[in-house]
Structure formats: C-alpha cells, structure tokens
Structure 1
Amino acid sequence: MDKLQQHFRRIHNLLDISFFRVVFFLIIGIVLFGVMFNNVRPEKLNIKLFSVADKTIRSPGTVEDKKSTEEKRKEARDQVQDVYALKKEYTQNRVDLITSIFQAAAEVNDELAEDLKKETESSQDKAVNTAPSVSDKVTKLKGKLTTTVTKDLSNQVFTALVQASNSELSIAKDLTVTAINHVMSQKISADDVENAKKRVEEELKYSTLSDELRQASIELGRYAVIQNEFYDPQATEELRRQAAESVEPVKILQGQVIVEEGELINQEIYQQLKLVGLLNTEKTYKPFIGLMVLISIIVSAIYYYFYQMKSQPEKRHTFLLLYGIIFIFSIILMKMISMLQIINFSGIGYLFPAAMAGILIKITIDERLAILTSIILAVCGSIMFNEGVTGSLNFSEGIYVLFSAFAGILFLSKQNRRSKILQAGLFVTLINILTLAAVMFLPNGQYSGIEYGYYLITALVSGIGSAVLTIGLLPFFEASFGILSTMRLIELSNPNHPLLRKILMEAPGTYHHSVMVANLAESACEAIGANGLLARVGSYYHDIGKTKRPNFFIENQLHLDNPHDRLPPDKSASIIVAHVTDGAAILKKYHMPKEIIDIAEQHHGTTLLKYFYHKVLQLNPEAGEEDFRYPGPKAHSKESAVVGIADSVEAAVRSMSKPTPEGIEALVKKIVDERLQDGQLNECDLTMKEIEIVTHTLCETLKGIFHSRIEYPEIIKKVKQA
C-alpha cells in the first residue's frame, strides 16, 4: 500500500504541471474512444448481388433513398397533364372583326345612297341616272376591308352583304355576334375548331334572315370561330413542381427490414444495403467523427467542473486523480460486461453496477460530480450496449444506468455511515426492478417467465454489486489518497477506536475536555459553513499527545500533586509544548488522515505559555518568550482555527469559579482578541464576520453548558447534616 501511495503521489505531483493535466484528460478521452470504437463502427456485410441472404438484415439508421424519391417525383410530374389557358381576348377580337365587316357593308350602302342623292339633285335629266351595280358595291366593300379578309371570304358573302339593307345587316350582325360569343365563350382546342364552327352554323341555320344573308352570316360565323385554348408552359411547370414537392421523400427507416432471411438480393435491395452503408465496399468516417465530438463534450464537462472547483490546488489535483481512476475503472468494467453480448441476449447490460461510480464519487469527492458522472455513464452505456438494437444508441440501457446511479446518490444524501451503503444497494435494486419493468412494459413486449426471472436477477446483481464494490473499493481509495470522507470521520468518532480508548483509559480528564471541545467546535464550524464533523473528530484527537505524560496536565491530576511544582518553568514548558509534537507522531503512527493530524499540530499555533513564561520572568527577567511558545504551525484551515479557539475557551471557562453569562462572554472575546492580536489566525481563511459568528456561537454553547442549577432542599439538608 505504501508503494502504491508513492506512485499516486508521483502522479499527483505531475498534475501540478499544466501539460500533464492536459495529458491526463487526453488519456480519459482516448480510453473513451477505445472502448466505444467498435460500438459505433458501421457493420459491414460481405454480400454479393443476386445472392441469398443468410439472415434478416435491418437498417441501422434512417436514410433517404434519393434515387427512389426522384423516381417518384418524376412519376408525379409526368402524371400532370398539360395546362391549356382560355384566351378570352380572342373572342373579342373575332367579334370586333365580324362587326367591322357588317359595319363596312352598312357604310358602303350609306355612301352609295348619299352619292346617288347628290347625283340626282345635280342632274337636270333624272331619267338617265343609273344605280351602282352589285360588283361596284362589292369592290367598294372590299376596299374597306383587309386583303386577308377579302381572300378568306367568298364573293357570295360580300354580295349578300351589299345587297342587304342596313336594318337587315344590323339584325344579321347581332345574330352572328351572339352566336360567336356563345360558342367562343368555351374552350376551343385545335382539334375542336371544326366542331365549334358547326355549333355556330347550327345556331344561325334557323334564323329568319334571307337565304343569301343567312348563308353569309353562317360563313362569317364559321370564319370568326378559331382556337382560343392554348398550351400554358408556365402554369404547366408550376403544377408539375407542386406535384413533385408533394411527394414525401422515400426513406429507409431505422430498424426497417431490408431483406428477409433466404430472400434473393436483387438490384433494388443491393442498392438499399449500399445506401445504408452495410456493404464492405463503403467507407465512412461520420460515426467516428460523431464519437469524437461526443467525447470532446464529455471531457470538456469534466475539465470545466474541476476548473471551477473551489478548493486548494493540491486537493483539487488529488480529487482529479481519484476521479480519473474511478471513472476509467467504471468505463472498463462496462466494456468488459458489454463484451458478453456475444451470447446474444439484449439484457446483459443490466448487470453493470451502475450506482457504484456515483456512490464512490459522492462519498469521496462531491455529489454534483457524481450526478455529472452518472449522466456520462448513461450515455456511454447506451452506446456500448447497442448490440441487437437498431441504431447506435440503446436508450433502454441509458435510462437504466441513469436511474440506477441517481438512486444510489439520492439515497446516500443524508446517510453517512458505511453500513448504509448496503442499504443503498437494496434501494438501487428496487429502482432497477421498477426501471426494467417500465422498459419492458412500455413497448408492450412479450416475455417468458424465464426472461422475467433473468431480468430480476440482473437488477439484483447490479444493485447489490454496486454496494459490494463500493464497500470494497472505498477503503482502498481512502487509504491510497488520504481521502477523509464523511463515513471515515464517523468511523473515527467511534468511542471504541483504539486511540480514543487510549485517551479515555490513560487520560480521562483529557478525554472529557476533548468531548467538550468537540461540542463547541462543531457548533461553531456549522455556524460559519465549515466542516463541523471534521472539527468534532479533530477535537477528539487534538490532545492525544497528552497520553504520553497524562499526569503533567491539570485535568488528569485529580487530587494528585502537581509535578510542575517541582520542575523549573522551562522544563515544564517543554513538557507541555511536547504534547503537540507527540500527538502528531502518534496520529501518524496510526495512519490517521492528514486533516486530523493538522488539527493536532495547529490547534495551539505558536501561542505563548503565559503561566510558565511569567513564572520564569520572576527568576530571570531577561528570559526570551521564544522558548515558551508552541512550535506551530499556525492554523491553516477554518476547522483548525476553530478547534484551537474552542480548546482555549473551554479550559479557561472551566477554570472559572463561578461562571456567569457575562463573565463567559467577556472571557471568550478576550481569548479571541488575543489570538487575533498575536497573529494566530493570519494563515487561515476566516473572515472577521465569521470570527464574530464563532465568538457568538461559542458563548451561547458555553452558557448552555455552564448554566446555573437549582439547589434542591433535601440535598442542602444532607450536606449540612454531613
């Protein structure tokens, strides 16, 4: 054990150097990567196209089949028919054209009538006047129209128009325009133009117009009707785009069966296997990058916790080394159990003693760090026990580890005795069983009685195993690192401890004094937020050095002569001072924690033995006080300082003949002021506010101890009779 302590001490000293602290965290990261590497490595299958699958293969993750998605989207686009738009302006244009033709015919009639009238009025011989011929009228009408119109329409149309009166033209125009509007209000495709012309013809066929004018109207109506429905590329493309976007991506879901056992691996299945990365021809680094990112987060969280820890560097480095050992041990143990997954049982991970690390860290270091570690182990467990599940994470295992670890931490929140660890293991077992029941029942799983029994055994092994491993490892860590846990302190406070029995048997007065000091120091430390239990236990052992020469201390003399009356002052002073160094030596011999040894060495600091110093001054006025001071060192912690003050005030108040509340308060303040003025509290981190609280607490406690008592009449009577 001593050699192991030396090795740990060397590593501890290396952690004082920033470079080696970085290396330490790198080692934690490397260990994490090493144990989880195989669990995130994508499974590779040696499968050939058109071979027969020897087992059922499921997708390890959710992946989009982009090729199938694109095919479905193309199919959706192809199913969209071309969009044809109705050009309403075409109807109006054709109506205007036919209207203009009728109007041109009417204008020809009006112009010819006006010309005839003028010629009649200017001619003297009215008998020779002749009316314009039909051909002249047709020629004039064609002159008012475009060449295209005159070519497209027959001469019969123009002849019928110029021969009709304006009233007939108006009626024919209205009938023709109405028919055109009616027919062209509907979509007319290129293939439907002839049918539309026939519909116009049918509407005009039974009109009351003259035969020539009716035929002209029919030909004009047929001429006006044209295609008004045309392909709209923009609208068509928009509909196709919407149809393509409405297609959901084709995904191969995590856990989806890609190929059943005995099924032929065709081209489509082979492509899916390749897509999900199960073929050995594919290489991917994404899982390893993800693992490195996760480990970076974990290591950063641990680093940040220790970075902001409010402790002395030496103590922080001790905690860091201890934490690293517990954490790495837990991770390696988890990996060893995960290797048993080859037996092809998914519940093997529930054997892991998940509460062990949390309980150990809570007892030896801190509860918050224990909670953080539990979360980290839950994440690591969900990765390491992912055999037989789809994906990289086994959430059931993660929940199990988290709840199990939290159960152990919470149960020990106010339990300080080592015997409570086994009880915590039983509580963890109960939580394990309940967690497994929830994990098994939530998905409506069907299990046999044997499987239920197996899960019950794993929960029991995990819970009890956590307690047993904690009980077995805790003494090793406490001894190797000098960790003074709460449980260790309670064990040291047991009256049956050999050193406490030594004080009781060899120096009973000192033992009583130590108990009184313990009560005072504990209450004062708790009042300022210091470790009251440490102060109590330190008080029990602070005067262990007096057992070497118990009769030289007044509390142990009990009606015996004071040996100091026969010794010179300097000799007496050396004997009194020696109890500090003797006590430290005894405590070191029994391998007591460093904190207890420090209290024994520092509770007197470098104070002056005033009684013997004043006594020697009567013999030698030039004597120096250095020989009459304790060797120190001065108190370095709050607990040492408080124990020293409590030690002085308890002895002083006990020496008072009639202690009163006012007298006690004055004496305590005087002792505290003397310590302050003597610089005995300069090296500890007690503030003036805390010193004031300590003074007040000591006064209140002492007033309760040394309160006045009622003298009962019977007792007084017996005393007088005696």
Structure 2
Amino acid sequence: MVWGVLFFALLTLALGNLSSPKRLDVQVGDIAPRSVRAPRPVYNRILTDERRAAAAANVSPVYKRELAVLESAQQHVNWIFTEIRRVRGLTDVDAASRTQDLADRIRLSVLPPETYAALLTVDDALVDAAEAQALALLQTALGEDVYPRDVTRIKGGIESGAAPFTLDLGDPALTQFVRELVKSRIEANMVEDQEQTDWLMQRAAQEVPEVWWQPGELIIEADKPITQDQYEALVELGLVGQQASYFSWAGSALIALVVVGVMALSISRFRPELLERDSKLLLLGLIGFITLFLSLAMSLFSVQLGDGAAYLMPVALNAVLAAILLDSRVALLQSVIIAVLLGLFTTATDVGGVAVAVLGSVAGVYAVARVESRNDLYRAGLVVGIVNALAILALYLLESAPLLDWGVWRDVALGAINGLLVAILATGALPFFETLFGIVTPLKLLELSNPNHPLLKRLMVEAPGSYHHTILVANLCEAAAEAIGADPVLARVGAYYHDIGKIKRPAFFVENQFGGENPHDKLPPSLSAMIITSHVKEGVELAREAGLPQEIIDFIPEHHGTTLVSYFYYMASKSGQSEYVLEEDFRYEGPKPRRRETAICMLADGCEASVRAMRQKSHLSHDQIEQQVRKIINDRLQQGQLDNCDLTLKDLDTIAKVFVKVLSGVHHARIDYPGQQKQAANAGQSQGQEGGSPAPGEAEEAVKHGDLDQQRTGESGPRA
C-alpha cells in the first residue's frame, strides 16, 4: 500500500508537469501574445460542428408514397355522388331547395348554381358516367408519384382537359363539376419520410471526420486575433483559466491511479510474491521511472528529428530489465503503459511511435527469455533494433511514403540505434540492480552454478555422497522444470544448494558413511531426528553467510516441507515411552514449497534417494522405477506438501515421466560378469545372516524413499 501511494504521487507529479504548460491570460478576440502549437492532438469542436451541420443540410429529403391520399379521394368522390343520388330522389321537395341542399353538401364554391341544378336534372346514366370518369381521373392523377411541386401542374392539366386528363361526358355543366371535384382532391401523395431523412442527415454528419489540431500544428499565431475554436483548444490544453490547470492535474492523477491499479492487479495475478517483498516493488518502480525519464530526455530531440525522436525512446529497456530481474508478463505490461503515457503526454510520440515502442518491448521480452551470458543482452538489443526498424518501415509503407525519401531511412536507422541503446543501457544497469537488490537473474544463477563456488567445493570435499546426490537431483530438476515450463536454471542451481547444511555433520547421513560406523546407533531416536532436521536450519545459515539470494535459500527448507522423519518417529513410537512421543517433534519446520521449482526439488530429492536405495538391493526395471517415482509423488500430494504451489495434476504426470526417463538412464541394468554373480550371492547370504534391526544411520534414506515397511520387518536399510 505504501509503495502504491508513493508511485501514484510520483507518477502524478511527472504527468502533471508534462500536461500543464505555461498559461495565457486571453479571451476570444484578443490578440495572441505568442504562438502556441499543439503539444498533443486537440479536438476542434466548433469547426467539426460547422462541417457536420453543412453536410446534414445538403441531404435531400426522403419521400414515401402515401396510399391513403388516393383512397381518401376516391371515398370522397363516392360519398359526393351518393349525396347527389339521395338529393335527386327527394321528388317531394322543390327544385330550388334541393339545389341549395346539394350545394351546401358539395361545397365547391367555384361552381355556379346552374351546375348544381344540372346535376339534379340529367339522366341517371350520365350521373353514373360522371362518377366513373371522376374516379378514373383520380386514378390517373394520383396513381403516380405526386410531389408537392407537381400539384399545380396536375390541377392545370385537369382544368385544361389535356391528355391524359380528358373527359367525355357530353354535358358541359357535368364536365365542369367533375373537373372541379377532382381538382379539390388533388394533393401530394409523396410525403417526406422524416425518420429516414433524419437518419441520412445524421449519417452524413457522422461521415464528416473530426477536425483535430495535430501535435506540432499551430493553434494560435502571435499578433493574430484568437477565434472561438482556438480559445476552446487553449482551454482544453489547460493554457487559459484557473480551472484548466486543476483539470489537468486531476486528469494526471486519475491516469496515475489507473496505471498503479492496473499494475497492482496484474502483479497480484501473475507474481503475487512480488507484493510480499518491498525491494522487488521498489525495483519495478525504479526501472519504470528510469525508462520514462530517459524516453522524455530523448523527446527533447524532436526539434531536430521531428517524429523520428519517438523512435529513439528506449521503452524496450524497461521490458528487458524487468523481464530478466522480475517477470516477463509484468515487464511487458509496464512497457505498454509507458509507451501509452509517452503517446499521451509528449509531442514527439504519435500512434506510430507508440506502436513501435510496444513491438520493440515484446521483442525484448522474448529475446531475454533465455539469457545465459552478457553477450545475450546484445543479441536481445539486436532483435529489438531489427523489430523497430521493420515496424517503422511498415508504417511508412502503409502511408505510401516514397522510399527514396531520406527521412524514411533516417527513422529506420533510429529504430535500429534504439535497440543498440537498449543493449548498452541494460548491460550497464543489470549488475547494478543485481547487487543493489539481491536479485537472482539467469546470469547470476550461472555464476552460482560454478563448481568452484566455496559452498559447493566444501560439499564435494566434506560430504561427497551428498554432493553426488545433489548432482543427480539437479539433473532431475532441470529436466522436469524444462518440461512443464518452469525455470530450469533456477531449479538446477537451487538443487545444487538444497542439502548444503549436511556439511556441518556429514557422517550422520547415510550417503556419507561408506559402510563405516553409524553414529545414530548410540543416539536416542529423538536426538537423531533433531540432528537430521537441523541440516535445514544449518543450511540456511551457511547460505546466508555466503550471500546466496533468497530464491536459492528457499530451496533448503522447502525441499523437505513439513514432512515427517518417519524412521525415527517409528523407532521412538516402539520405545517404552511412546506416550510422550509427539509427531511434531519429528517433522521438518517447513515451509511447504511455494514455487514450482522448489516443489520439483522436493519430488526429485525423494525420488532419487528412493530409487537409489532400491537399486542397491537389486537391478531395477523401467516399470519398477516408474512405480516407485509415482508412489513418491503421490505420497507428497496426499500429504498436502504441494498445496502452496501451482503445480497441476498434468504437471505432476509430466514430472513423473521425466524422472522415470532420467532415473532409468542412471540406474540401468548392468551385466553381471562371471565371479560377480557368486560374490553377489555370498553377499546376499551374509546379509540374510546378519538380519537384526534396521540401521538407524540410514534414517535419511528411509525418510526419502518411504521404505518403512521393509525396515519394520528387520531388513537392513539401503546404503549410499
């Protein structure tokens, strides 16, 4: 939490200073005291709105035919002629009244009274013909698309009787009535589709691209009036008004909060152990800030190099250092965040620069996945430089830039130089960080694997049996770690030192007795168990005195976990004071393995000792070795020794197969030459005559291979 607050404050301070340039005391219409260029992309809202409004206004309305117009007109004509027939049937009413009644219902004021009178006196057949021609005339007029602009033309055609609006009634009064009736119902049947029109207008407005001031583009020019859109751009940049500065700092703080939060969540997901060590968090933050400030220093060359300055920013340095010292996934995420921050807060970095930085970081992470010498750092820098150069060239090809332009190849060269710069900086910084923070890197592990290391030399001289066992365990660990995707170098080097505590009392461990006197024969089981388990604590002390990294020290207690020293516990339980025997007094203190590599070491340690003990009794077949290996692994799993590491059942199956393959190669069957068979038979007979109780000096082997049943029956335990 403390480191999170500190990183948040530092990042807010850095981003706030980048985003808060010197402000201007101006208003719209004032003369600009100096020219201002956009430090980053700035949205021009006013000009964008103007262009979009113009585009929307240019959209022609969309019309759709309204069928109800014709239907309504036809229904009206039918109703009119129905009324005419009804009034014609009122024979008991005088003609003048009927004429007036008909005029009131039809309401065509342009018609004279004589026309209404004629409607009452003509033949019924002529009335039917008039109705039919009126409907036909409506069908002709409104059966096609009629826009508002067409209404006057159609009415004029009906009035003049021009084709196709001709009538054949023979009675001028009736003809005039039909024309006026039809004209009264002519209106546009093509009405505006407001919803579709609005959608087209909206789409036309959206298709107008946003107007932005690009980084480096002139927003206001000295001694020129400031327009409304220019003023809004200055406000957005925090260059005018008191609140603008506050908003800028608030935005910087919010971005810093998001960055710190994302990093914290990612670390807790991928490498939760980093949260437990302040030094690791400090190292991660230090690498990030150094990379950020070096990149900002490179951005100062933007005046001379233009956009090419972005390609010199060594963002991949963070990826390379953090991947080697901490974790590749966390390193890649932090590099992406740094690239994005540079794109947001510096004028020298655009989208292309961010893309090149991200691709270079990805290349750097994968290039240092297996670092075995300092020269590998330069190989990683070469990979970063090549990826940068190719990415820059690809960006120019996407823009159809002329390849003969010297600026293109200048930027490509800058990308390649970036890789060389990353290699030089990483080579110089790596030893410093290793020493200052005590970090175990592959390079450091290779140094610790040197057989001339003082502790390994002591182990080889003072406890040669344990040393031989250590070499075999290391081979098993490396092969298994390689198979499941763990760190094979860490697994091998950790295995070299896992039994380093046996230097203190080598004779108390069966692999160093070589058939001599067993000191455990004269000790009570509780004291023997204490001596056996103390090699863990003594090993940790020796490792710390020698300055071994904590990652290596963890192998010493975790390769035993909290397992039981079963042989001495069994012997103590058989004694007369078994009621005072506590199982806790015969267990290792732990902790249980917390990493895959230490868990592999636990399994390899048990399997190697167990199979070696069985091999001394008789030749072993491949099936026997596999059965014993899987028994040991299953025992550790059932005891809960693997609960704190992230090994899956699939991983355990893979580990078992690798162990069997390696152990089968070490303990393969050999030919018994003549004479040796007889010696072996005599040895076996002699052993059977000895009988007796199990050798307590072989307790460590009994613990490792779990062969307690054989010892209970009185067989002599295996010797190294």
Amino acid in the other structure paired with 2:259: I
SS of residue matched to 1:375: helix
Of the three residues 360, 363, 369, the one matched with 2:321 is 360
| 2:211 matched residue in structure 1 | 253
Q: Is the 8 A contact 2:150 2:188 kept in 1?
A: no
Of the three residues 217, 228, 245, the one matched with 1:271 is 228
Q: Is the 8 A contact 2:343 2:351 kept in 1?
A: yes
Contiguous gaps of at least 5 residues in structure 1: 1-20, 112-139, 202-206, 388-392, 615-620, 717-722
| 2:352 matched residue in structure 1 | 396
SS of residue matched to 1:248: helix
Give 1:349 shift: 1.9
Separation in 2, partners of 1:479, 1:684: 29
Amino acid in the other structure paired with 2:293: I
Residues 416, 174 of structure 1: CA spacing in aligned structure 2 closer, same or farther, 3 A cutoff? same
Give the RMSD, CA atoms, in angstroms.
6.8
| 1:325 matched residue in structure 2 | 286
Q: Is the 8 A contact 1:528 1:694 kept in 2?
A: yes
Residues 252, 406 of structure 1: CA spacing in aligned structure 2 closer, same or farther, 3 A cutoff? closer
Residues 557, 315 of structure 1: CA spacing in aligned structure 2 closer, same or farther, 3 A cutoff? same
Of the three residues 145, 170, 174, the one matched with 2:99 is 145
Separation in 2, partners of 1:507, 1:190: 113
Amino acid in the other structure paired with 2:552: I
Moved more, 85-94 or 327-336: 85-94
Residues 517, 73 of structure 1: CA spacing in aligned structure 2 closer, same or farther, 3 A cutoff? closer
| 1:705 matched residue in structure 2 | 666
Q: Is the 8 A contact 1:483 1:593 kept in 2?
A: yes
Residues 185, 595 of structure 1: CA spacing in aligned structure 2 closer, same or farther, 3 A cutoff? closer
| 1:136 matched residue in structure 2 | none
Residues 26, 92 of structure 1: CA spacing in aligned structure 2 closer, same or farther, 3 A cutoff? same
Moved more, 364-373 or 60-69: 60-69
Aligned residues: 620
Amino acid in the other structure paired with 2:424: V
Amino acid in the other structure paired with 2:265: Y
Separation in 1, partners of 2:359, 2:663: 47
Aligned runs of 1:533-544 on 2, under 5 Å?
Answer: 533-542=489-498
Aligned runs of 1:505-520 on 2, under 5 Å?
Answer: 511-520=467-476
Separation in 2, partners of 1:555, 1:102: 132
Q: Is the 8 A contact 1:649 1:671 kept in 2?
A: no
Residues 253, 424 of structure 1: CA spacing in aligned structure 2 closer, same or farther, 3 A cutoff? same
Give 1:376 shift: 2.1
Q: Is the 8 A contact 1:349 1:385 kept in 2?
A: no
Separation in 2, partners of 1:608, 1:78: 91
Give 1:575 shift: 10
Identity of matched residues, %? 22
Listed one character per residue, the Cα deviations across residues 320-354 of structure 1 (whole Å, up to 9, x for unaligned) are 44433333333333333335445562221211222
* 2:26 is the alignment partner of 1:63: no
| 2:416 matched residue in structure 1 | 460
Give 1:420 shift: 1.9
SS of residue matched to 1:146: helix
Residues 512, 41 of structure 1: CA spacing in aligned structure 2 closer, same or farther, 3 A cutoff? same
Separation in 2, partners of 1:661, 1:317: 49
Of the three residues 253, 264, 272, the one matched with 1:303 is 264
Listed one character per residue, the Cα deviations across residues 45-72 of structure 1 (whole Å, up to 9, x for unaligned) are 7686396998797872263644665577
Listed one character per residue, the Cα deviations across residues 521-561 of structure 1 (whole Å, up to 9, x for unaligned) are 555777888765444323434565677899999988999xx
Of the three residues 13, 35, 45, the one matched with 2:14 is 35
Aligned runs of 1:186-225 on 2, under 5 Å?
Answer: 199=160, 217=173
Separation in 1, partners of 2:308, 2:77: 81
Give 1:433 shift: 0.9
Amino acid in the other structure paired with 1:301: V
Residues 362, 288 of structure 1: CA spacing in aligned structure 2 closer, same or farther, 3 A cutoff? same
| 2:29 matched residue in structure 1 | 49
SS of residue matched to 2:474: helix
SS of residue matched to 1:538: helix
* 2:616 is the alignment partner of 1:660: no
Amino acid in the other structure paired with 1:355: A
Amino acid in the other structure paired with 2:311: Y
Aligned runs of 1:491-530 on 2, under 5 Å?
Answer: 491-501=447-457, 511-520=467-476, 522=478
| 2:390 matched residue in structure 1 | 434
Give 1:385 shift: 3.6
Moved more, 476-485 or 525-534: 525-534
SS of residue matched to 2:380: helix
Amino acid in the other structure paired with 1:27: L
Residues 668, 534 of structure 1: CA spacing in aligned structure 2 closer, same or farther, 3 A cutoff? farther
Give 1:492 shift: 1.4
Separation in 2, partners of 1:694, 1:192: 93
Amino acid in the other structure paired with 1:60: V
* 2:366 is the alignment partner of 1:384: no
Q: Is the 8 A contact 1:659 1:706 kept in 2?
A: no
SS of residue matched to 1:444: coil
Q: Is the 8 A contact 2:62 2:194 kept in 1?
A: no
Q: Is the 8 A contact 2:475 2:492 kept in 1?
A: yes
| 2:3 matched residue in structure 1 | 24
Q: Is the 8 A contact 1:76 1:240 kept in 2?
A: no
Listed one character per residue, the Cα deviations across residues 180-206 of structure 1 (whole Å, up to 9, x for unaligned) are 9979987999999998998489xxxxx
Give 1:498 shift: 4.8
Separation in 2, partners of 1:317, 1:341: 37
Residues 515, 434 of structure 1: CA spacing in aligned structure 2 closer, same or farther, 3 A cutoff? same
Q: Is the 8 A contact 1:416 1:490 kept in 2?
A: yes
Give 1:146 shift: 1.6
Q: Is the 8 A contact 1:197 1:221 kept in 2?
A: no
Of the three residues 353, 373, 380, the one matched with 1:424 is 380
| TM-score normalized with structure 1 length | 0.61
Q: Is the 8 A contact 1:598 1:640 kept in 2?
A: no
Separation in 1, partners of 2:470, 2:345: 53
| 1:116 matched residue in structure 2 | none
Contiguous gaps of at least 5 residues in structure 2: 143-148, 163-167, 572-576, 594-598, 678-720
Moved more, 601-610 or 414-423: 601-610
Separation in 2, partners of 1:660, 1:323: 53
Separation in 1, partners of 2:159, 2:658: 117
Separation in 2, partners of 1:438, 1:576: 64
Listed one character per residue, the Cα deviations across residues 145-193 of structure 1 (whole Å, up to 9, x for unaligned) are 22997999989x69x989x9988x9989989998999799879999999
| 1:12 matched residue in structure 2 | none
Give 1:397 shift: 1.3
| 2:401 matched residue in structure 1 | 445
Separation in 2, partners of 1:680, 1:143: 114
Separation in 1, partners of 2:219, 2:523: 99
| 1:228 matched residue in structure 2 | 184
| 1:11 matched residue in structure 2 | none
Give 1:396 shift: 0.4
Listed one character per residue, the Cα deviations across residues 246-284 of structure 1 (whole Å, up to 9, x for unaligned) are 783366523589989989968xx9233345556855766
SS of residue matched to 1:308: helix
Separation in 1, partners of 2:151, 2:625: 116
Separation in 1, partners of 2:608, 2:405: 66
Q: Is the 8 A contact 1:183 1:199 kept in 2?
A: no
> Which structure would you say has the larger Rg?
1
Amino acid in the other structure paired with 1:24: W
